[in-house]
């Protein structure tokens, strides 16, 4: 059993609704798209960096 399946089993629709409301109250409606854009670009940069590392490892194995 993975940590994700344990977490998803514990979180119901009411808990998700409460979390969404709290995020809206903390950041406001106008800030959320900006936060999501930043999160998306961070994930993209992380994926690009891991691809570069994998390519370097593959090149070093060929030598």
pLDDT at residue 63 tops 70: no
Predicted model pTM: 0.51
Which band of pLDDT confidence, cut at 50, 70 and 90, is reported for residue 5? low
Which band of pLDDT confidence, cut at 50, 70 and 90, is reported for residue 2? low
Domains contained in the chain, number: 1
Domain coverage including residue 55: 3-62
Residues 58 and 13: their CA atoms lie apart, in Å, by 44
Measuring CA to CA, how many Å separate 44 from each of 37, 39, 54, 56, 58? Answer: 11, 9, 15, 19, 21
Residues 62 and 39: their CA atoms lie apart, in Å, by 35
Interval 7-62: pLDDT, tens: 666 778 888 889 888 888 888 888 888 888 998 999 999 999 888 877 777 777 77
């Amino acid at each position: 059993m993975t940590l994700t399946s344990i977490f998803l089993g514990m979180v119901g629709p009411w808990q998700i609704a409460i979390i969404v409301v709290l995020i809206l109250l903390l950041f406001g409606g106008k800030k959320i798209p900006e936060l999501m854009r930043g999160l998306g670009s961070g994930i993209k940069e992380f994926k690009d960096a891991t691809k570069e590392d994998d390519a370097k490892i593959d090149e070093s194995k060929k030598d």
